């Protein structure tokens, strides 16, 4: 097959990173791996609607059923493989379920195949291999290919953690995850048994000796933890303290609040390719079969290419349609998501409508009880604040139709509101964890994603089925399921009664939430 006429792949246009300058062209012999993502075989419209409304629009499938109904067609896979061979590229992986073909080849052949010019750029992000302009694909593949990721390997996300400056002293106000779960009235008669929590990591690593010491100190059985390598990502502790802090925080919080659940950590490179592939791999994992995916990394929604953002949306929509709940940190930079350009930004993937976006609070305690809870905002001392706001890209989903989400102030766009819910995130009232042989106190919305992932695992066990795409259910619950946070702000947005762009519906009253969800399930069963 000859591929002659070329067209620009929709949404693939890229600019250099802010302040970046090309240093040198790539070596033609450098080996590059890219992921080519393909369209769904069928029911595209129903799944697109599902991402913005809820589970009534589509039947939940097992992973195997989903692959057959919504995976890539054999013809599309063959067409991409033929294109690869035409340009001397090797097919290293072909997945019908994930609708992904991974290609490997020299930089010279990749540039010819995709009509790009690759250079090494120097930027505040460090040195990265990058491109500018669009990716070009054969006209014959235009209906088939939805994204080409991996040509550009700039870092796309950051871990949403904040380490307390007096971290090693276990300062007053800091808490163990077990104490946080008790304060939030997590269901006492569930452990998460039978559930698997997937954790997405874009760097760092964990040490089993630290986990053993930590859970022993909490008088809990050490959870079963295993790692999965995606796109060459590895469990590599000791290289980056922030990334290690993220990994350990995620495992220790999820493992402490749902000690009966299995934990699988998917390590991938911090690139758009790695991030998308990690989520997709976890969602479609037929071996470990996670029921919850926790994500504590992200970046401003408008920093992503359209093709990458759409690929992330497809991955989390797949997860939701297979009954997998996805939780994600809303960010630690306040209402501008830490960009510092004087404009408002929300974080991706938290902003994706199928994702349970997790905001942050300051949880003040006295005599083992909550004395007050306010919006996390320590911007005055440069210790961060919860992300939150309104999307400029994703329209408001059906489940937020009655939540009184304001229009985005700068664009007047009726967008998806972030976050959905919240939990303790202020480093001043942060979580006592163990990282690289040291005891630390860490906050950030990074802690809230695994906290809620653990709560979802507990509820799944108690309900006897997976909650999956949980927002439509949560937004229908009465106020007893949440602690409504009405005090504080995250910069541009203020907290108030009901949903707000700082803490969403509020922090959890776990047992009451479970009871309300059981009531919903009983009504649905009797309908």
291 a catalytic residue: no
Evaluate the omega torsion of the peptide bond into residue 349 and state whether it is cis, within 30 degrees of 0: yes
Point out the catalytic residue in the list 12, 446, 466, 507: 446
Please give the structure tokens belonging to residue 352.
Answer: 């994706």
Question: Token pair for residue 471?
Answer: 């927002």
Residue with tokens 């000690």: 259
Q: Where are the beta strands (DSSP E) in 131-230?
A: 136-138, 145-149, 158-159, 162-163, 196-201, 225-229
Chain centroid to Cα 26, Å, comes to 31
The CA dihedral of 161, 193, 200, 329, to the nearest 10 degrees, is -40
Catalytic residue among 152, 246, 301, 426: 246
User: Which residue is associated with the tokens 């992921």?
Assistant: 35
Cα→Cα distances 75→72, 171, 474, Å: 8, 60, 40
Please say whether the dihedral angle defined by the alpha carbons of residues 50, 53, 56 and 57, taken in this order, is positive or negative.
negative
Q: Are 502 and 386 in contact (CB under 8 A)?
A: yes
CA atoms within 13 A on the CB side of 18: 6
Task: Retrieve residue 230's tokens.
Answer: 């995606």
The yes-or-no answer on residue 446 being catalytic is yes
Render 470-517 in DSSP notation, one character per residue.
Answer: -HHHHTTS-GGGEE---S-BSSS-B--SSSBTTTBT-EE-HHHHHHHH
Query: Three-state DSSP class for 351?
Result: coil
- With H, G, I as helix, E, B as strand and everything else as coil, classify residue 230: coil
510's enclosing H/E stretch is: helix 510-526
Is position 373 annotated as part of the catalytic site? Answer: no
Distance CA 326, CA 8 (A): 32
Residue of 152, 201, 250, 347 marked catalytic: 250
Report the catalytic residues. Answer: 246, 250, 446
């Amino acid at each position: 097959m000859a591929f002659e006429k070329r067209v620009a792949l929709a949404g693939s246009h890229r600019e250099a990173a802010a302040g970046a300058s090309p240093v040198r062209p790539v070596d033609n012999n450098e080996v590059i791996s890219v992921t080519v993502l393909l369209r769904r075989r069928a029911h595209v419209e129903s799944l697109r609607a599902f991402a913005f409304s809820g589970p009534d629009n589509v039947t939940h499938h097992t992973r195997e059923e989903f692959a057959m109904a919504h995976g890539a067609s054999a013809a599309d896979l063959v067409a991409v493989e033929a294109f690869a061979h035409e340009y001397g590229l090797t097919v290293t992986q072909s997945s019908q379920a994930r609708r992904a073909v991974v290609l490997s080849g020299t930089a010279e052949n990749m540039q010819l195949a995709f009509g790009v010019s690759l250079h090494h750029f120097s930027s505040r992000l460090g040195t990265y291999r990058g491109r500018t302009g669009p990716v070009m694909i054969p006209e014959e593949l235009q209906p088939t290919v939805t994204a080409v990721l991996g040509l550009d390997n700039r870092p796309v996300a950051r871990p949403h953690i904040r380490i307390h400056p007096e971290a090693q002293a276990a300062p007053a106000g800091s808490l163990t995850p077990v104490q946080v779960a008790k304060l939030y009235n997590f269901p006492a008669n569930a452990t998460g048994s039978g559930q698997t929590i997937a954790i997405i990591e874009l760097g760092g690593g964990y040490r089993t000796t630290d986990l053993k010491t930590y859970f022993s100190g909490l008088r809990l059985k050490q959870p079963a933890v295993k790692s999965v390598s995606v796109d060459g990502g590895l469990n590599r502790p000791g290289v980056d303290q922030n990334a290690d802090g993220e990994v350990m925080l995620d495992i220790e919080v999820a493992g402490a609040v749902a000690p009966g659940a299995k934990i699988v950590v998917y390590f991938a490179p911090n690139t758009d390719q790695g991030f998308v592939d990690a989520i997709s791999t976890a969602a479609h994992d037929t071996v470990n079969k996670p029921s919850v995916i926790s994500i504590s990394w992200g970046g401003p929604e408008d920093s992503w290419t359209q093709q990458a953002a759409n690929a992330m949306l497809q991955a989390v929509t797949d997860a939701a349609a297979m009954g997998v709940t996805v939780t994600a940190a809303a960010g630690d930079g306040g209402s501008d998501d830490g960009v510092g350009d004087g404009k408002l930004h929300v974080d991706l993937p938290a902003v994706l409508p199928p994702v349970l976006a997790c905001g942050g609070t300051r949880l003040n305690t006295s005599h083992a009880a909550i004395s007050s809870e306010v919006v996390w905002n320590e911007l005055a001392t440069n210790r961060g604040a919860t992300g939150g706001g309104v999307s400029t890209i994703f329209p408001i989903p059906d489940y937020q139709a009655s939540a009184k989400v304001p229009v985005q102030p700068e664009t007047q766009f009726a967008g998806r509101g972030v976050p959905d819910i919240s939990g303790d995130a202020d480093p001043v009232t942060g979580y006592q964890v163990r990282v690289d042989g040291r005891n630390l106190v860490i906050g950030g919305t990074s802690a809230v994603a695994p906290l809620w992932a653990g709560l979802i695992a507990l509820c799944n066990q108690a309900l006897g089925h997976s909650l999956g795409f949980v927002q439509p259910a949560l937004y229908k619950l009465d106020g007893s399921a949440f602690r409504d946070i009405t005090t504080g702000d995250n910069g541009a947005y203020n907290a108030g009664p009901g949903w707000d762009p700082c803490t969403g519906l509020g922090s959890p009253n776990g047992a009451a939430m479970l009871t309300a969800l059981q009531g919903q399930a009983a009504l649905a069963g009797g309908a």
